[in-house]
Amino acid sequence: MLSGILLIDKPEGLSSFDVVRRVRKALKVRKTGHAGTLDPFATGLLLLCLGEATKLVPFLMPEPKTYRAVMKLGEETDTQDPTGRVVATSRELPEPELLYEAAARFVGEIEQTPPMYSALHHQGERLYKIARRGETVQVQPRQVTIYELQVGEVALPFVTMTVTCSQGTYIRTLAADLGRALGCGAHLAALRRLAVGPFRVEEGLALEVMAERAGEELYSRIIPLGECLPGLQALEVGPEEAQFLRQGRTIPWPGNHLAPGERVRVMAAGELLAVAAVRAAADRLELAPVRVFGTVSSKQ
């Protein structure tokens, strides 16, 4: 089975699923998914998970994400982005010094209320479907983390920022909240995802380039399964231990260089066999399989 991650630089105007569909057709891989949606107006890094790599999505989603965002001050939209209807305007724009001060207050753990125009569920229905009917419901705020927020170019009413954030952060909501904090309102005018964990958009393949490539050249861009979680320590096991893990059984692990609760990549014959959790048991450590992978290949 063809498995691994293909990094795509998504263009503007396509949904994330549009990209999945094109990659699925180009590589003839039915089992394909992505690790983190980008709205159609947004561009940048999209992680396409192929074959057994679709099992990696729960481990990839929590990775920090970095964006370049352009917000427009003095104009609010109902969707908090350029696709929406303008609902409020202001000609009173802040001095750049106030902008830097306000942005600094959003760094760290913050409370954010997801927008109505989002794919979150409310009583079994997507919020954006409720919003399109002109209805609103109470959306509970949640904690997200802004690891870094750097204000770059300021060319009022436009402000360019670089944001590194946790899973679940809405950059358009960050822009809207920052606009409210400044007293002038704002919406997200443009967005480009620069990184997901260790993966960078510079490593991504443009869709038009992908269409021109075929065979070995395209397959060579697929990151092998065993290299898709570089943040996890890799441990090699033998055939007997590998069989135990495939059966869902734990195996003892000698030494004390691992910490209970840590997750590791378990390799067998050079391929990713499992993601396992380290557990403390009596006088030893054990590896308990969290997700087991089948036989894979990065070639068709």
How far is the C-alpha of 229 from the C-alpha of 223, rounded, in Å? 10
- CA dist 278 → 175, 252, 266, 289, 296 (Å): 40, 10, 11, 9, 24
How far is the C-alpha of 70 from the C-alpha of 61, rounded, in Å? 24
Query: Is the separation of the CB atoms in 43 and 192 below 8 Å?
Result: yes
E strands in 156-262: 158-165, 186-196, 199-200, 205-206, 233-236, 251-253
Output b/e per residue, 144-155; b: 16+ Cβ within 10 A: bbbeebebeeee
Is residue 39 among the annotated active site residues?
A: yes
Query: Is the separation of the CB atoms in 69 and 161 below 8 Å?
Result: yes
Considering the candidates 39, 81, 177, 283, report the single residue annotated as catalytic. 39
Q: Please identify every residue annotated as catalytic.
A: 39
